[in-house]
């Protein structure tokens, strides 16, 4: 098994709130991890720190063995990140934005040409290629954000609610694509949709109040429910906070 991500005692405090409390875990190639938990559990904060977008108050992140704090540029070059709400440059066209992001990620001219075609196809955004991002619907903006995360074909993908705002056809398409991509990558997906979990993910991490309270396969998690139901197991594991 090829270890892609190592998170050690990661910690983040906002004023009097401990958003992420000494979280440690490892993730290997081929794992598609559902990061679940109630609103405010710390999922986005954890992802933002793994992505190197938010500085932790303590702990370490290693991406393909590279320490994020000591070598952020190299560590980030191995990550594709779709942040919560997918911040984008609204006054740019889809094409101009992705071209610019490809330059930032250091793709050379030939690579860039090919990858722009690839991500256009993968995220199904050809119809909005020349439109200004701020004029796009929420679902299409999400797709552009997803395309951005795939540009450098990184070994680690961090997707914060990737199916949020997508119509049912697009949800199916993105789920299928993520499953395919996950064969050769490590993917962490934050979601509130149990269909996302059952259709894409082979590992579940459940967060509550900044801590990981369960980590395992669907079968492992279901053992916490006499009714053999995920919702019931989540309710039990979070003391009634979730599901």
Ligand X SMILES: Nc1ncnc2c1ncn2[C@@H]1O[C@H](COP(=O)(O)OP(=O)(O)OP(=O)(O)O)[C@@H](O)[C@H]1O
Chain positions 80 to 99 lying near Mg ion, rule: CB under 5 A, are 84
Q: For residue 108, give both structure tokens.
A: 């050379």
Helical segments of 43-127, H only: 43-50, 72-76, 94-104, 109-123
Return the one option of Mg ion, ligand X, none that residue 52 interacts with (CB less than 5 to 8 A, by type): none
Phi, psi of 155 (to 5 degrees): -70, -20
**Closer Cβ to ligand X, 93 or 190, answer by number:** 190
Return the one option of Mg ion, ligand X, none that residue 37 interacts with (CB less than 5 to 8 A, by type): ligand X
**Closer Cβ to ligand X, 97 or 242, answer by number:** 242
Minimal CA–CA distance to 98: which of 76, 78, 121? Answer: 121
Cα distances (angstroms) measured from residue 53 to each of 76, 200, 220: 9, 25, 32
Minimum CB–partner distance for residue 216 and ligand X (Å): 19
Token pair 């053999």 in the structure block, residue: 228
**Closer Cβ to Mg ion, 54 or 95, answer by number:** 54
**Closer Cβ to ligand X, 37 or 154, answer by number:** 37
Return the one option of Mg ion, ligand X, none that residue 17 interacts with (CB less than 5 to 8 A, by type): ligand X
Distance CA 96, CA 80 (A): 19
Minimum CB–partner distance for residue 54 and ligand X (Å): 8
Interface with ligand X (CB under 6 A): 14, 17, 19, 37, 39-45
**Closer Cβ to ligand X, 112 or 142, answer by number:** 142
**Closer Cβ to Mg ion, 44 or 93, answer by number:** 44
Let me know: does 46 contact 81? Beta carbons within 8 Å: no
The contact mask relative to Mg ion for 18-47 (x = CB under 5 A, - = no) is: -------------------------xx---
Minimum CB–partner distance for residue 37 and ligand X (Å): 5
Is 191 an interacting residue with respect to Mg ion (CB under 5 A)?
Answer: no
Minimal CA–CA distance to 93: which of 125, 61, 55, 118? Answer: 125
Contacts of 48 (CB under 8 A, 6+ apart): 54, 83
Minimum CB–partner distance for residue 205 and Mg ion (Å): 14
Let me know: does 138 contact 115? Beta carbons within 8 Å: no
Binding residues for Mg ion, per CB under 5 A?
Answer: 43-44, 84
């Amino acid at each position: 098994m090829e270890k892609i991500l190592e998170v050690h005692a990661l910690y983040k405090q906002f004023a009097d709130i401990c958003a992420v409390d000494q979280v440690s875990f490892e993730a290997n190639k081929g794992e598609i991890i559902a990061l679940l938990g109630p609103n405010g559990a710390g999922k986005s904060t954890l992802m933002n720190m793994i992505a190197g977008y938010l500085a932790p108050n303590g702990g370490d992140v290693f991406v393909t063995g590279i320490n994020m704090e000591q070598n952020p540029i190299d560590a980030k070059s191995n990550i594709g990140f779709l942040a919560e709400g997918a911040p984008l440059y609204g006054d740019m066209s889809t094409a101009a934005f992705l071209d610019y992001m490809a330059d930032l990620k250091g793709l050379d001219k030939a690579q860039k040409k090919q990858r722009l075609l690839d991500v256009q196809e993968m995220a199904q955004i050809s119809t909005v290629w020349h439109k200004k991002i701020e004029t796009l619907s929420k679902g299409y903006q999400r797709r552009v954000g997803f395309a951005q995360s795939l540009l450098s074909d990184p070994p680690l993908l961090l997707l914060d609610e990737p199916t949020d705002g997508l119509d049912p056809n697009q949800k199916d398409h993105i789920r299928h694509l993520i499953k395919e991509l996950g064969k050769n990558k490590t993917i962490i997906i934050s979601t509130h949709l149990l269909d996302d979990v059952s259709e894409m993910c082979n590992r579940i991490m459940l967060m509550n109040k900044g801590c990981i309270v369960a980590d395992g396969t669907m079968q492992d998690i279901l053992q916490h429910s006499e009714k053999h139901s995920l919702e019931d197991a989540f309710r039990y594991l979070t003391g009634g906070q979730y599901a």
